[in-house]
Amino acid sequence: MKSMKTSRTYVLVHGSFVGAWCWSRVVPLLEAAGHEVYAPTLTGVGERAGEATPEVGLLAHIDQITSLVEANDLRDVVLVGHSYGGMVVAGVAGRVPERIAGIVYVEAFVPKPGQSALDILPGLRDAFAGLALPERPWLFAPFPLEALGVEDPQLREWATPLLTPMLWKAVDEGLPDDAGDLSTVPTVFVHCTRGQFFDDTAHDLRSRGIPVLTLDEGHMVHLTNPGRLAAMLIEAEHELGRLTG
C-alpha cells in the first residue's frame, strides 16, 4: 500500500477535439500507483459537445476547473494540461495558487497573462479558420488523428468517432491579465519529440531553467502510449517536489 506521503491529487485537463475519454488508459495507471485522479470533460467538447455555444471559451473552462478544485476541497494538486489544456491549467493556478503543488504541461500551450493559444502559435489561426463549420462558424472541425501522429489504424478507428469540434473562443480568448505571477508556480514541461507544435516552447522553457522531460512520442501521447505518459507524469511530480523542496 502506498504511503499517504507519496500520494498526490492529479487533475488532468485535455486539449482540443477530445474529452475525458482521452485519459481513459492513463487514469487507471495513476490510480494503481496510489494517486487520486480527476479527469473532467471541458464544457462544449467531447462528451459535453451538446453544451457548446458561441460564448463558451477559455474563461469558462478556467471557471469550470477552478470550481472542481474548490468544490472537492482539493489541495496539493498537480495540474496536468495537454495541448489547449495548458491554457486552462495556467488560469486555474493563477486563481487558486494556494491549492496547487505545480503544473505539468504535456505538449501544451504555456501562456503569459493576456496571451491566447492563437497568439502563441499564430500559424494555427488560418488552419483552424479553414476548418470552421459552415452552419456554426464558432466551431472548427478536428484535425485528422493521423496528422497528429496517431499511426496505429486500429487506434484511429476507435478514437476518430469520439472526436468533436473545438470552440473558436477557447483558442482565441486570452489568459486573464489577473492570472498572477505564474513564474512562481513550480512547472515541468513534457515534450514529445515527434510532435509538431511545441519544439520552440520546449527550447524556450529549457533556456529559462524550467525542467523539460522528453518522450519519443507524437502529440497524442495519451492515446499512443498511455503507459509511458503515466510514468512520466509520476516522474514530473517528483521533479515538482524537488523544485519546492
- Answer yes or no: are the C-beta atoms of 88 and 13 closer than 8 Å: yes
Q: Which residue has the cell 488508459?
A: 25
Which pTM does this prediction carry?
0.96
Domain that holds residue 110: 4-244
Q: Which residue has the cell 523542496?
A: 245
Q: Which of 16, 67, 83, 207 is catalytic?
A: 83
- Structural domains in the chain (count): 1
Q: Residue 4 CB: number of other CB atoms within 10 A?
A: 7
DSSP letter for each residue of 188-219? EEEEETT-SS-HHHHHHHHHTT--EEEES--T
Does residue 83 have an active-site annotation? yes
Question: Residue 186: which CATH number?
Answer: 3.40.50.1820
| pLDDT tens track for 75-88 | 999 999 999 999 99
Q: What is the DSSP letter of 174?
A: P
- Answer yes or no: are the C-beta atoms of 222 and 192 closer than 8 Å: no
10: nearest Cα among 228, 41, 190, 27: 27
| pLDDT tens track for 98-148 | 999 999 999 999 999 999 999 999 999 999 999 999 999 999 999 999 999
